[in-house]
């Protein structure tokens, strides 16, 4: 009983070593979550990049593709959004939620939808019914589940869900549930009682989020009230606005940080912008006055990310090669189709027990892979090439370690056991572009390959071209000028001079070379030494 009172009053709370560092600049906002001064979560939002994942729109059906079993919906963007038939059917709750029976509830909310809002579509429908329900030209209320990636437009669903601090409101789904990440049986029983007592309008449902663990009933009541008020504004827009129209914009990074990160496990929040600090305090006060005391303004002369050692961790974490504490390392390559992660022992050779060395490296790699997926916001198909382990027990230990570390990931993940080739396949929900894709552009010098031809390779190609050109123009061209990169010219002078003299003798011609640092290392120019005309093989 004493411990319960302490928890409610916020007494006896032990520091966790967790800090939320927020940097607000003119062009971008950055949020970093540190656990014992180690970077565990990292999010960026730029003024020019509008985050629409979670936003709700009133769209208009422009096209139905029966072969794809999909519709293309105009929601006001350059590219129409993609709505698959199965995303147009109100689905059952996600497998990460345990269904809870609805109670009668108490309060003054309208049981037919909450203050006059109509409930979701009645009756059971299938994919075959979708084209009849939403013919071309009809209006549809949708929510973005995946932002535009590359040349693809947004992906949307009609299964609307609105996350609050402790609850997720589902206006078109009347089931209720508790996140399976809350695994304490006694706590689940307590939350079921709270959930049954909530005054949820008929036709709607809620999911109790992991952040609700240990919270009092009044926090859920307040959260539900805020969500229902928010939904009523959306419902008015559904009636009054003409499609395509925005009904609800997903909150910006500051709001989302309060909603998703500011839990009891966070010791303090530090913000370097005074306006954002005041705004965050206002937002936090609506949730908990005690939590407001943990939000502080940072006014130091040194940039906040430098002061707390965040920037150096970002620089090292986003390299292609990431070192592990044991001396091993992982290599991350992001391709269009998948993400390949290679695990190597590196400096961790191990003098006696090689099997133990390999297991240690793979275990640390499992921790770092889960961390890197969050930091880089990597999604899609991911294949991890772990160091081969003879023991099936060791393979299972690494597999379980990955699963355990992925439990804290907010994105949906699915992992398969290590195969006989030492590969672990997994998928991670891809809601928007990875941080690498959004922050970097392909190198204009190598065109994104990451490699260029060596001076020796260019020397071989140049000599091949000279043989073809001089043979073709042997009768009328006797003087040829070649422009190459300085690195290539160095190779020609130091190692291949005799080969070039042999070419001159064979074709009775004269070669002259000039280096140009502005010339691409993989390019060269061959011209007539008298007229300046370009000569091609």
Q: What is the full DSSP assignment across 209-275?
A: -GGGTT--HHHHHHHHHHHHHHHHHHHHHHHHSPSSEEEEPPP-HHHHHHHHT-STT--EEEES-HH
Tell me which of 97-106, 114-123, 270-279, 503-512 is least confident: 114-123
* Contact (CB, 8 A) for 227 and 219: no
Cross-strand pairs, 152: 149
- Taking the alpha carbons of 127, 128, 129, 130 in that order, is the dihedral positive or negative? positive
Which stretches of 282-328 are assigned E, i.e. beta strand? 295-297, 321-323
What homologous superfamily is domain 455-528 in, according to CATH? Ribonuclease E, catalytic domain (3.40.1260.20)
What integer best gives the mean pLDDT of the chain?
85
The domain segmentation of the chain, as residue ranges, is: 2-47+261-305, 56-251, 318-439, 455-528
Among 528, 536, 535, 531, smallest CA distance to 481 is for: 528
Mean pLDDT of 176-193: 89
pLDDT band per the 50, 70, 90 thresholds, residue 524: very high
pLDDT band per the 50, 70, 90 thresholds, residue 306: very high
Q: Is the pTM of this model over 0.85?
A: no
pLDDT band per the 50, 70, 90 thresholds, residue 130: confident
pLDDT at 406: 92
CA distance 417 to 428: 15
pLDDT at 266: 83
CA distance 74 to 278: 38
Q: What is the full DSSP assignment across 415-444?
A: E----TTSEEEEEE---S--HHHHH----T
Instruction: Give pLDDT tens digits for 138-169.
Output: 999 999 998 887 778 899 999 999 998 889 99
Give the helix/strand (H/E) hosting 381.
strand 380-385
> Which are the contacts of 239, defined by CB distance < 8 A and separation ≥ 6?
none
- Widest distance between CA atoms in the chain: 104
Cβ neighbours, 10 Å, residue 78: 6
pLDDT at 422: 86
Domain 318-439 of CATH type 3.30.2000 = no
Tell me which of 193-197, 278-282, 500-504 is least confident: 278-282
pLDDT band per the 50, 70, 90 thresholds, residue 98: low
pLDDT at 476: 87
Q: Rounded to 5 degrees, what are φ and ψ at 208?
A: -85, 120
pLDDT at 103: 55
Report the DSSP pairing between strands 97-100 and 167-170.
unpaired
pLDDT at 205: 92
Cβ neighbours, 10 Å, residue 204: 24
- CATH number assigned to the domain covering 2-47+261-305: 3.30.420
The percentage of residues in the chain with a pLDDT greater than 90, rounded to a whole number, is 47
Instruction: Give pLDDT tens digits for 334-391.
Output: 887 789 999 998 887 766 778 888 999 999 999 999 999 998 888 889 999 999 998 9
Among 344, 434, 429, 437, smallest CA distance to 384 is for: 344
Mean pLDDT of 504-527: 94
Question: What's the N-to-C CA distance of the chain in angstroms?
Answer: 90
> Would you say how long the chain is, in residues?
537
């Amino acid at each position: 009983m004493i411990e319960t009172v302490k928890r409610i009053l916020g007494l006896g709370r032990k520091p966790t070593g967790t800090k939320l560092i927020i940097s607000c600049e003119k062009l971008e906002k950055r949020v970093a979550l540190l656990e014992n001064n180690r970077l565990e979560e990292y999010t960026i939002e730029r003024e020019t990049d509008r985050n629409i994942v979670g936003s709700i729109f009133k769209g208009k059906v422009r096209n139905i593709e029966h072969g794809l079993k999909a519709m293309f919906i105009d929601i006001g963007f350059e590219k129409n959004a993609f709505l698959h038939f199965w995303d147009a059917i109100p689905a059952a709750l996600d497998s990460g939620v345990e269904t809870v029976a609805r109670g009668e509830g108490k309060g003054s909310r309208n049981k037919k939808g909450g203050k006059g809002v109509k409930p979701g579509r009645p009756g059971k429908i299938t994919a075959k019914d979708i084209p009849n329900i939403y013919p071309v030209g009809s209006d549809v209320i949708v929510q973005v589940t995946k932002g535009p990636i590359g040349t693809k437009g947004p992906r949307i669903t009609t299964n609307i869900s609105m996350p609050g601090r402790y609850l997720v409101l589902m206006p078109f789904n009347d089931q209720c549930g508790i996140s399976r990440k809350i695994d304490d049986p006694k706590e689940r029983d307590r939350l079921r009682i709270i959930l049954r007592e909530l005054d949820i309008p008929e036709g709607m449902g809620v999911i109790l989020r992991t952040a609700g663990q240990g919270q009092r009933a009044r926090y859920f009541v307040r959260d539900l009230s805020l969500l229902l008020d928010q939904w009523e504004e959306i419902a008015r827009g559904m009636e009054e606005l003409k499609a395509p129209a925005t009904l609800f914009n997903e909150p910006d990074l500051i709001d989302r940080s309060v909603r998703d990160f500011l839990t009891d496990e966070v010791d303090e929040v530090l913000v370097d912008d005074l306006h954002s600090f005041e705004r965050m305090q206002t937002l936090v006060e609506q949730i908990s006055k005690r939590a407001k005391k943990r939000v502080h303004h940072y006014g130091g002369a040194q940039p906040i990310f430098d002061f707390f050692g965040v920037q150096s961790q970002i620089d090292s974490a986003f390299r292609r090669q990431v070192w592990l504490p044991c001396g091993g390392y992982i290599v991350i390559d992001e391709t269009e189709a998948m993400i390949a992660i290679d695990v190597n022992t590196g400096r961790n050779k191990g003098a006696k027990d090689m099997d133990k060395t390999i297991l240690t490296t793979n275990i640390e790699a499992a921790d770092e892979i889960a961390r890197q997926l969050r930091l880089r916001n990597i999604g899609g198909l991911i294949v991890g090439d772990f160091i081969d382990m003879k023991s099936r027990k060791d393979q299972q230990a690494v597999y379980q370690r990955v699963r355990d570390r992925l439990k804290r990931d907010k994105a949906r993940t699915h992992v398969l056991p290590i195969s006989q080739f030492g590969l672990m396949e997994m998928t991670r929900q891809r809601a928007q572009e990875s941080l690498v894709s959004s922050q970097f552009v392909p190198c204009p010098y190598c065109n994104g390959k990451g490699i260029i031809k060596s001076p020796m390779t260019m020397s071989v190609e140049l000599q091949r071209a000279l043989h073809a050109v001089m043979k073709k123009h042997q009768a009328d061209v006797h003087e040829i000028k070649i422009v190459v990169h300085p690195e290539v010219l160095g190779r020609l002078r130091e190692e291949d001079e005799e080969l070039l003299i042999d070419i001159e003798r064979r074709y009775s011609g004269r070669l002259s070379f000039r280096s140009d640092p502005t010339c691409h290392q993989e390019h060269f120019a061959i011209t007539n030494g008298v007229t300046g005309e370009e000569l091609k093989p």
